Amino acid sequence: MGLRLYDLAGAEAERRFSPYCWRTKLALTHKGLAFDTIPWRFNEKAVIAFSGQDRVPVLLDSDQVISDSWTIATYLEDTYPDRPSLFGGDAGRAVTRFVNAWADVVLVGGILRLVVTDIFAHLDEKDRAYFRETREKRLGAALETVSADRETNVLAFRKTLEPIRTVLASQPYFGGEAPAYADYAVFGCFQWARCISSFPLLLRDDPVWSWRDRLLSAFDGFAGKALGYSV
């Protein structure tokens, strides 16, 4: 049986927007591994209870069940060592963990505040009450309040991307001449926004835009073909 991935979906089954699932999908694609996705929604926690936790991504590989995007990436690297490397060795893997952690804190945290009402609007009706309750608790305010000042807040968000621009001034990808998991860890966050929101997060003259564009085109446009917005 081939690889199968439980992948967060909106009201439309083809709207796949989890930043963590995008990391996993790019990692699988980088490894050249074929996989099927199973659309999953927040109210289907019982469906993935067999994984011992209640979040996606959950990857099935024959009799193996792996959850958490970082754990999945290291599983794929160790299980398929003859395929293109995600980390380029142990040191690369260790340092990539920082990029992953930075993306989790700065990008997921920053982008959530900018697109949270757009996420809500794209959710299946059954997911909305859960999403509003958990996210308003996490953010400490109503979703609409959090995103009300986004035209201003996005300016500060763009400044937090400065270390990415420094890297891109010297090399086309975090991974160097070719993309690696560090790229996917960061790209997943932008792809999350792009699949769920028409809000312009990046400006077209930003080097981060060009880098994202290269990744949207990578692997025959795999990520670029996803249902989303051209922003």
Residue 108 or 226 having the CB closest to a copy of itself: 108
DSSP-derived pairing of the beta strands 58-61 and 64-67: antiparallel
Nearer to a copy of itself, 29 or 85 (CB): 85
CB of 74 to a copy of itself, least distance (A): 11
CA distance 223 to 231: 14
Shortest CB 44 distance to a copy of itself, Å:
28
H or E stretch at 7:
strand 3-8
> Within a 13 Å sphere around the CA of 163, how many CA atoms are in the beta-carbon half?
9
| Amino acid at position 75, single letter | Y
Cβ closest to a copy of itself, residue 55 vs residue 122: 55
Question: How wide is the angle at C-alpha 102 spanned by C-alphas 142 and 140, nearest 5°?
Answer: 15
Crossing angle for the helix pair 19-30 and 207-221, nearest 10 degrees?
Answer: 50
Q: Which residues bind a copy of itself (CB under 8 A)?
A: 85, 87-99, 101-102, 104-106, 162-164, 166-167, 170-171, 173-177, 180, 182
Strand order in the sheet with 58-61: 35-40, 3-8, 58-61, 64-67
Chain mean position to CA 225? 15
Q: Please give the Cα distance from 54 to 59 (Å, whole number).
A: 13
DSSP for 18-63, written as a single string: -HHHHHHHHHHHHTT--EEEEEE-GGGGGGGGGGTSS-S-EEEETT
Integer Cα distance of 102 and 125 in angstroms: 32
Smallest gap from residue 19 Cβ to a copy of itself (A):
15
CB of 36 to a copy of itself, least distance (A): 29
| Tokens of residue 131, six digits | 């999403």
